[in-house]
Amino acid sequence: MEFMQTNIVVLKKPVYALNLANLFDKSGNNPYESKKENDDCMFLAPDAHILIVDDNGVNLTVAAGLLKPLQMQVDVAFSGKEALDMINRHKYDLIFMDHMMPELDGVETTRIIRRLHPEYNDVPIIALTANVVSGAKEMFISEGMNDIVAKPIEMKSIVSKLRYWLPENKQIFVGTLIKLDNSADANDFEIPGLDTRYALSLLGTKELYLSVMKDYYRVIDKKVALIRENVDRCDWGNYTIEVHALKSASRQVGAIDLAELAAEMEKAGNARDTELIRRKTPIMLELYMSYKDVMAPFCQAEQENVDKPLSGDDILRGLLKNMSEAMENLDMDEMDRVKQELMSYSYEENREKLVNKLGEAVEDIDVDACEIVVKQLLDIIGEDCNGGTV
């Protein structure tokens, strides 16, 4: 006689305590249950150290922006490889891990962490994914992750996961959560072609929405060129990763029509439906490019014509030294601060182009590119960051 079990969840070895907690949760006997007592509790976590891994700058801005009010220490990694480098330098209390990334995806990165870093056995790894289908959570758990946060990322969801998984000794409860009323922002802030009301419902504040929009706007040309290149090379794997990222980023800014078209192209990429890809990708990219004009009034520099003081060698050298120190410490906040100071000066033409390139690398959180440009600038001024002669 054969018996069919329909309620089996497969856990790959080794099995960790936090994975078992997910299973206990379904039976009502979760040992972590005390962490879910009241969804309206407000907490701070100034001693918590969090790592967010995602290859998409929009998602990193969203996640870091949503976590900012909790006062926790947040580091970001732009790839699985960079995440592995960073966990060798720091011990994190929790990791948010993007699922679909080029070269080393979130599942592969998690496998390496679980296999080679026993000190992370009981550190929660939470998947960031736009593919929340039936069985997705069980799949991630079987691969060594502990939970999922759906994209587009929403404040309520990501904070709820932190309350549940962050060690209780890292949480300082400060009262009842004040629910943000963004209805006034939503009513007064309308942009043609964008569902700003929906986007604000996810992000909570107009300030964070504008920050996310600027990240989205800044890479439009770059992403369009990359998607076209993937089509020309018949690189359907990376094509699918790129349109997947476009889908979630577009939803995050309220570009719903584009998000739905990108979702269709993601399915076509997974199915290797090249006829549909070649027919509809140009339509998708034309719509994507149309948002440049829509977003430009909110994203372009407000004072492009304001005269800036000319930077001398000493000023530039000092700022490059500060940038190098920030890169060495992987201090993204300090890198951004130095970038802003660099942009407050004007430069001779050959330096201006490199400074702008350095600013773009900082915005892309591309530390390797930053190091290359810093060296090029130092070669021009003839001295290294410590004041010695090159």
Are 162 and 60 members of one domain?
A: yes
Can you read off the two tokens belonging to residue 243?
């349109």
Query: Is residue 387 a part of any domain in this protein?
Result: no
- Model pLDDT, residue 279: 96
- Model pLDDT, residue 39: 52
Are 278 and 352 members of one domain?
A: no
Alpha-carbon distance 263 to 276, whole Å?
Answer: 13
Alpha-carbon distance 70 to 126, whole Å?
Answer: 18
Calculate mean pLDDT across residues 258-273. Answer: 95
> pLDDT (tens digit, 9 = 90+) per residue, 315-356?
888 889 889 988 888 787 788 888 888 888 888 777 888 888
**Residue-level length of the chain:** 390
Whether 31 shows a pLDDT value over 70: the answer reads no
Give every CB contact of residue 84 below 8 A, 6+ residues apart in sequence: 104, 109, 112, 113
Are 142 and 257 members of one domain?
A: no
Which of these three, 123, 147, 176, is where a domain ends? 176
Whether 17 shows a pLDDT value over 50: the answer reads no
Phi and psi of 50, rounded to 5°? -115, 140
Comparison of pLDDT for 237 and 346, the residue scoring more? 237
Alpha-carbon distance 148 to 150, whole Å?
Answer: 6
Query: Is residue 284 a part of any domain in this protein?
Result: yes
Query: Is residue 1 a part of any domain in this protein?
Result: no
Alpha-carbon distance 105 to 81, whole Å?
Answer: 9
Q: Label residue 188 by pLDDT band (50, 70, 90).
A: low
Which of these three, 277, 299, 321, is where a domain ends? 299
Query: Is residue 278 a part of any domain in this protein?
Result: yes
Whether 194 shows a pLDDT value over 90: the answer reads yes
In DSSP notation, 292-333 reads: HHHHHHHHS-TTTTS--PBP-HHHHHHHHHHHHHHHHTT-HH
Range(s) of the domain holding residue 329: 313-381
Calculate mean pLDDT across residues 148-176. Answer: 85
Overall domain count for the chain:
3
Biggest CA–CA distance in the chain, Å, is: 85
- Model pLDDT, residue 291: 94
Q: Label residue 153 by pLDDT band (50, 70, 90).
A: confident
Are 267 and 369 members of one domain?
A: no
Element (H, E) at 74: strand 73-77
Residue 150's DSSP bridge partners are 129
Which of these three, 119, 144, 176, is where a domain ends? 176
Comparison of pLDDT for 69 and 174, the residue scoring more? 69
- Per the CB < 8 A criterion, the answer to whether 53 and 77 are in contact is yes
Calculate mean pLDDT across residues 180-198. Answer: 72
Q: What is the share, in percent, of the chain residues with pLDDT greater than 90?
A: 32
Q: What is the dihedral of CA 188, 189, 192, 195, to 10 degrees?
A: -110
Query: Is residue 5 a part of any domain in this protein?
Result: no
Are 168 and 26 members of one domain?
A: yes
- Model pLDDT, residue 154: 84
Are 278 and 363 members of one domain?
A: no
- Model pLDDT, residue 23: 46
Calculate mean pLDDT across residues 123-132. Answer: 86
Are 294 and 318 members of one domain?
A: no
Q: Label residue 109 by pLDDT band (50, 70, 90).
A: very high
Whether 6 shows a pLDDT value over 50: the answer reads no
Q: What is the share, in percent, of the chain residues with pLDDT greater than 70?
A: 81
- Model pLDDT, residue 29: 43
**Within 13 A of 56's CA, how many CA atoms are on the CB side?**
34
Query: Is residue 321 a part of any domain in this protein?
Result: yes
Phi and psi of 277, rounded to 5°? -60, -50
Alpha-carbon distance 258 to 287, whole Å?
Answer: 7
Are 203 and 168 members of one domain?
A: no
- Model pLDDT, residue 36: 47
Calculate mean pLDDT across residues 299-317. Answer: 69
Alpha-carbon distance 67 to 162, whole Å?
Answer: 9
Alpha-carbon distance 75 to 318, whole Å?
Answer: 25
- Per the CB < 8 A criterion, the answer to whether 50 and 93 are in contact is yes
The least confident of 45-49, 51-55, 231-235, 340-344 is 340-344
Query: Is residue 3 a part of any domain in this protein?
Result: no
Are 340 and 268 members of one domain?
A: no
Are 62 and 126 members of one domain?
A: yes
Helix ranges (DSSP H) in the chain: 17-27, 57-67, 80-89, 106-116, 136-142, 155-165, 183-188, 196-203, 206-218, 220-232, 236-253, 256-271, 274-299, 313-328, 332-342, 349-363, 367-381
